[in-house]
């Protein structure tokens, strides 16, 4: 039994008035995709259909810097950034050169590549305060591994998560959609975000069974306003840990590298025991990591966790180069500045058209939504009118800014958004 079988966008009526963004090649690809892929809920947010029928191009075949080309050959300025991974610019030359050099020597080979040690050392230099690192392939792997390590460390089964937080693709980490076995959810408490009183009031007998609290830096469900962790809330997380011996896991998969240059906990004032990374870490290469502190090394060592491609070397070299370029170029400051320019420009355009558009969450990866917009219908029209004019962003998911969005690109995005707002007003 599913709690909600309808999916926004995917099951909604079309909110656009005009031809779909896909040209004939994209439309033919959808027909082929529907024959071979069980689509719809599968891949949900990663499918262009989640933006609403016809709102975004379905298939992207090339990317460079801050621009992408769809299957029909049309180029767009992109504010989707692959939902986060594009941190420095698609196919950043130094990242790709490092990956290519390793690819020429070998990618998946027997036993560890030396690149794996270099990767872990580089991560620990990037994120001071952690003592060990584990490589993974995806954000979901990092969060799943963190959940296993805290349970082993504390010999407790329960976890505290927050109401609408997505942490990955297994039943415990995900938001409930399809049927999950009760046992997969029995060990989770889902509390309200930014509610220090809720954490303080958590009964002591139950709190003593909690292995860890896992939280995101921002509460950022799709299609609703995002909200950053308040200082009071962070203090309550620390109090909960002090009174119960519970561990704290920060899921920095989405916000990582865009909220603070050394990990989002530094922007939040949080002191996590474990830090989960993914998405932007490899600038588009499939790599993530779990960083931990000394007291959890023994628990981490007790977990049987392996996977054939965890040890592939190319993504490690890509991640090392990503961190090198990110720090050398102060990419965080570059992204922050570009993001603020974008926000100011788009909000000014919305104001000129008398539209109540809001940026919620951090400028570098905001949820951009109309204030009164049931079903995100106006948001879909705005995204559609922008795509027609050559700018991609998602009506429900966060926009993302990269270091490749220079002033000219941001000004172009603002001009297109301006025209799209006028057309969708």
- Residues near ligand PMP (CB under 6 A): 138-140, 143, 166-169, 216, 251, 253-254, 278-279
Q: Say what angle helices 313-328 and 114-126 make with each other, to 10 degrees.
A: 30
Q: Please, are residues 64 and 91 in contact by the beta-carbon 8 Å criterion?
A: yes
**Closest distance of CB 215 from ligand PMP, Å:** 10
50 or 384: whose CB is closer to ligand PMP?
A: 50
- DSSP letters, 267-295, are HHT---SEEEE-GGGGTTSS-EEEEE-GG
Helix (H, G, I), strand (E, B) or coil at 68: strand
**Closest distance of CB 249 from ligand PMP, Å:** 11
**Closest distance of CB 175 from ligand PMP, Å:** 11
**Closest distance of CB 256 from ligand PMP, Å:** 9
140 or 364: whose CB is closer to ligand PMP?
A: 140
- Residues in CB range of 326: below 8 A, 6 or more apart: 87, 88, 257, 261, 332, 403
249 or 363: whose CB is closer to ligand PMP?
A: 249
Residue with tokens 């922007």: 267
- For residue 271, CA distances in Å to 68, 70, 120, 263, 370 come to 38, 42, 20, 11, 35
- Residues in CB range of 384: below 8 A, 6 or more apart: 15, 16, 18, 21, 52, 54, 55, 56, 424
**Closest distance of CB 216 from ligand PMP, Å:** 5
16 or 363: whose CB is closer to ligand PMP?
A: 363
Other Cβ atoms less than 10 A from the Cβ of 93: the count is 11
**Closest distance of CB 251 from ligand PMP, Å:** 5
71 or 290: whose CB is closer to ligand PMP?
A: 290
DSSP state letter for 67? E
**Closest distance of CB 259 from ligand PMP, Å:** 12
The span from the CA of 257 to the CA of 369, in Å, is 23
> Which residue's CB atom is positioned nearest to ligand PMP?
139
**Closest distance of CB 123 from ligand PMP, Å:** 17
143 or 424: whose CB is closer to ligand PMP?
A: 143
103-138 burial, b if ≥16 CB within 10 A, otherwise e? Answer: eeeebeeeeebebbeebbebbbebbeebebbbbbbb
168 or 379: whose CB is closer to ligand PMP?
A: 168
137 or 378: whose CB is closer to ligand PMP?
A: 137
């Amino acid at each position: 039994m599913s709690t909600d079988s309808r999916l926004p966008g995917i099951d909604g009526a079309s909110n656009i008035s005009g031809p779909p963004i896909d040209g004939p090649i994209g439309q033919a690809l959808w027909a082929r995709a529907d024959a071979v892929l069980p689509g719809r809920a599968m891949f949900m947010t990663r499918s262009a259909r989640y933006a609403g029928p016809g709102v975004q191009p379905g298939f992207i075949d090339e990317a460079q810097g801050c621009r992408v080309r769809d299957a029909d050959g049309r180029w767009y300025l992109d504010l989707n950034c692959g939902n986060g991974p594009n941190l420095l610019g698609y196919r950043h030359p130094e990242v790709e050169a490092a990956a290519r050099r390793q690819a020429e020597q070998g990618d998946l080979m027997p036993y560890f590549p030396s690149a794996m040690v270099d990767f872990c050392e580089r991560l620990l230099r990037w994120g001071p305060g952690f003592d060990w690192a584990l490589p993974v392939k995806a954000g979901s792997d990092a969060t799943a591994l963190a959940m296993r390590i805290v349970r082993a460390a504390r010999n407790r089964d329960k976890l505290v998560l927050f109401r609408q937080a997505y942490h990955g693709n297994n039943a415990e980490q995900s938001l409930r959609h399809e049927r999950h076995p009760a046992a997969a959810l029995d060990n989770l408490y889902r509390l309200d975000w930014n509610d220090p009183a809720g954490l303080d009031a958590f009964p002591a007998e139950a709190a003593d069974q909690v292995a860890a609290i896992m939280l995101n830096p921002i509460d950022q469900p799709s299609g609703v306003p995002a909200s950053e962790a308040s200082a009071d809330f962070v203090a309550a997380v620390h109090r909960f840990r002090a009174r119960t011996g519970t561990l704290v896991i920060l899921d920095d998969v989405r916000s990582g590298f865009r909220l603070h240059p050394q990990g989002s906990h530094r922007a939040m004032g949080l002191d996590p025991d474990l830090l989960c990374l993914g998405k932007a870490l490899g600038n588009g290469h499939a790599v993530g990591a779990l960083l931990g502190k000394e007291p959890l090394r023994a628990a981490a060592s007790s977990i049987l966790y392996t996977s054939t491609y965890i040890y592939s070397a190319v993504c490690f070299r890509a991640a090392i180069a990503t961190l090198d370029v990110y720090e050398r170029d102060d990419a965080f400051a570059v992204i922050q500045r570009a993001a603020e320019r974008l926000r100011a420009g788009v909000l000014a355009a919305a104001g000129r058209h008398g539209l109540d558009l809001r940026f919620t969450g951090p400028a570098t990866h905001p949820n951009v939504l109309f204030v009164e917009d049931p079903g995100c219908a106006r948001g879909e029209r705005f995204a559609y009118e922008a795509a027609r004019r050559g700018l991609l962003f998602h009506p429900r998911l966060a926009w993302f800014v990269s270091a490749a969005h220079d002033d000219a690109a941001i000004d172009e995005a603002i001009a297109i958004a301006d025209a799209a707002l006028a057309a969708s007003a």
